[in-house]
Chain A
């Protein structure tokens, strides 16, 4: 019997430990769930230190700056601690799981589509009441284009930062080819023919012939004049006065003539004029295509400047070539406050802090972000703090990116198109056929239109 007793003791203690471990996990989340539903808990805390969780993505530079900004906030606000939660990949999956498990962070970045859908479902705070109650904060101080509204009087907040689009180029390559440098002012923007001529001059095959020469060999291209990531396609579409949906929000805008024409023009750069690498050729280009002189001009969002500034070449910037009008895309994923937060007031303090360009200045000066506040575009002293006198913001930046984005920035579909993820799941494969030269823009987009139509639900915030 003695050894049976010993078995019993071991078995029982194993069980107790196991049960403790197992329930330990679930008890934690239960607590989270209860307290999230019970804001009274917050009031009872009184003078205790409040902890806010801030979730964000980004590379190591962004991680460092954001973490430092959060630290600086802690130093200024006694009694509030901020826990940075850096999620470098699979961000939405991770946040979705946290929200479903009732352990959502207090605030953080969100991909636009998910944020708008969650706001509709009441999982994100409407910031308007907080803004109205705050005498220190004026909505008018921030760019109009950065707000994410899911209904006319409901906002989930602002973009984390502004991202305008323009062209970036290797100045030496243009000087060598003897072409004039791209204009930086909207009024002087190249039209498509002028742009195409420059791109053809800058595209050179292995025998040294450019794309205007009758001996040009498109199979052996050494240097491309232009690179246009299909991801940036909307820039050409809005320049041709098209958009993702029709203005009334009821039709598929990309299947309208203006959009089709713009998309076809981009495909022609690859397959008709051979001045731009195809998606397959792009795969073989190095990340440093401008520095290594494989590509002369590229289109990118503002964030591209951060990487280019670290490379060793003579960087130039300019406004996008225009189709009908000179404009640009204005992009940026929102930062939101989660509805489950126990400390909305403190979260709002942190929200304001992070929206202030001063707090994250290295990211602005480093080329990754553009500021949210109007003053930083108009007050020369503030402009000088980020957009001048550093490698990421070469001569002409103020006109080509800063002014152009502020004055002629058209918001990307992510800001307002409902059901965008599902629509793009149909549109992207259709456009693949255009970018691989198998179908014309008209055939591909008209073919997918009947499937897209039932998914169209209009615009958010209208």
Chain B
């Protein structure tokens, strides 16, 4: 009897969160799914148009769909591997015993994470400024050619990737936690067997870290697909739509053109893309992710 009571009590305690999830996440998602099959411009009564919004995207009637997909994929392909490698490297360094004042460095690397994205974007607009910006002033001081950064179609995506690396702090922290969880006994045993630094890194650190790498890969990819603030604040999708990120495109359709139904369809396509990509990661993970408990 008490067991059943307890279960009910537990559910009741969790109810506020469950209600919140249903009301503020599940319900809006469901309605956006329904709206994606309608002609809805905020101000009219939604009119059912079947797959109209979707066909308009795939048959190329909407001139921005493929462009924004391409822009976003370009960003993800650059951002995710570079971001992972960088944060892993920083975590490795911060994990070394010989580095003094580690906690200061850890704080420094984490600080940008708590700067609001809008504020960070404002700072970087200034850093990227072609004539007065800090970055180009550095290049000039070194007698190197300056870069147009956000103002050229070729460099705008790499520039935003470069800027995003500034905020790798939270990934670094996760890697760091993982590194500290690798049992010391394994390294000691390897030392006894005569393994060098690189051998230990390749045979112990990497395999033990694969679940963390996997986690960060998934979270990093999802985050990269949803990049938005930079386009809104820094480039407005320009120059010539070269930074028309997918989420900014959704925002523009919804709030500047008032095409809520169409925007919902665009959003659901992103949801499915992320679902498929995450699925692929999970499928392939079996061959490279190593869980200690499975041994």
Q: Is the CB of B43 within 8 A of A15?
A: no
- SS class, residues of chain A in contact with chain B: helix
Q: What is the number of contacts between chain A and chain B, taking CB atoms within 8 Å?
A: 81
Q: Is the CB of A280 within 8 A of B16?
A: no
Which of B77-85, B97-105, B205-213, B237-245 contacts its partner? Answer: B237-245
A433 is an interface residue with CB less than 8 A from chain B? yes
A85 is an interface residue with CB less than 8 A from chain B? no
B41 is an interface residue with CB less than 8 A from chain A? yes
Q: Give the most central of B5, B256, B260: most A CB within 10 Å.
A: B256
Given A15-B12, A117-B41, A280 contacting B130 (CB threshold 8 A) = yes
Q: Give the most central of A4, A281, A433: most B CB within 10 Å.
A: A4
Q: Is the CB of B5 within 8 A of A22?
A: no
Closest partner residue, chain B, to A21 (CB atom): B16
Closest partner residue, chain B, to A17 (CB atom): B16
Q: Is the CB of B258 within 8 A of A283?
A: no
Contacting residue for B256 out of A4, A92, A433, CB 8 A: A92
Chain A residues 266-291 with CB under 8 Å of chain B are 279-281, 283-284
Smallest beta-carbon distance B95→chain A, Å:
42
A361 is an interface residue with CB less than 8 A from chain B? no
Given A14-B13, A426-B63, A284 contacting B241 (CB threshold 8 A) = no
Q: Is the CB of B256 within 8 A of A283?
A: no
Per-residue A-contact encoding for B182-203, CB less than 8 Å = 1, 0 else: 0000000000000000000000
Closest partner residue, chain A, to B15 (CB atom): A15
A378 is an interface residue with CB less than 8 A from chain B? no
A123 is an interface residue with CB less than 8 A from chain B? yes
User: Which chain B residues lie closer than 8 Å to A283 at the CB level?
Assistant: 129-132, 151
Q: Interface size bucket, A side? A: 35 or more
Given A11-B9, A421-B257, A433-B240, A284 contacting B132 (CB threshold 8 A) = yes
A19 to B12, CA, bound (A): 12
Q: Is the CB of A432 within 8 A of B258?
A: no
Q: Is the CB of B129 within 8 A of A284?
A: yes
A93 to B254, CA, bound (A): 9
User: Which chain A residues lie closer than 8 Å to B284 at the CB level?
Assistant: none
Q: Is the CB of A15 within 8 A of B238?
A: no
B49 is an interface residue with CB less than 8 A from chain A? no
Residue count of chain B within 8 Å CB distance of chain A: 33
Given A11-B12, A15-B15, A432-B240, A123 contacting B43 (CB threshold 8 A) = yes
A121 is an interface residue with CB less than 8 A from chain B? yes
B106 is an interface residue with CB less than 8 A from chain A? no
Q: Is the CB of A7 within 8 A of B130?
A: no
Closest partner residue, chain B, to A448 (CB atom): B63
Smallest beta-carbon distance A180→chain B, Å:
32
User: Which chain B residues lie closer than 8 Å to A425 at the CB level?
Assistant: 64, 252, 257
Closest partner residue, chain B, to A92 (CB atom): B255
Q: Is the CB of B131 within 8 A of A15?
A: no
Closest partner residue, chain B, to A444 (CB atom): B240
Chain A residues 436-456 with CB under 8 Å of chain B are 436, 451
Given A117-B41, A284-B130, A22 contacting B12 (CB threshold 8 A) = no
Q: Is the CB of A429 within 8 A of B240?
A: yes
Chain B residues 134-184 with CB under 8 Å of chain A are 148, 151
Given A14-B12, A15-B12, A92-B255, A99 contacting B63 (CB threshold 8 A) = no
With A96-B255, A100-B260, A117-B258 known, 16 other A-B pairs at CB within 8 A are A11-B9, A14-B13, A15-B12, A15-B16, A18-B19, A26-B23, A92-B256, A99-B42, A121-B43, A121-B44, A122-B43, A283-B129, A283-B130, A283-B132, A422-B257, A428-B238
B interface residues, Cβ below 8 angstroms from A: 2, 5-6, 9, 12-13, 15-16, 19-20, 23, 41-44, 63-64, 129-132, 148, 151, 238-241, 252, 255-258, 260
A interface residues, Cβ below 8 angstroms from B: 4, 7-8, 11-12, 14-15, 18-19, 22, 26, 92-93, 96, 99-100, 114, 117-118, 121-123, 279-281, 283-284, 421-422, 425-426, 428-429, 432-433, 436, 451
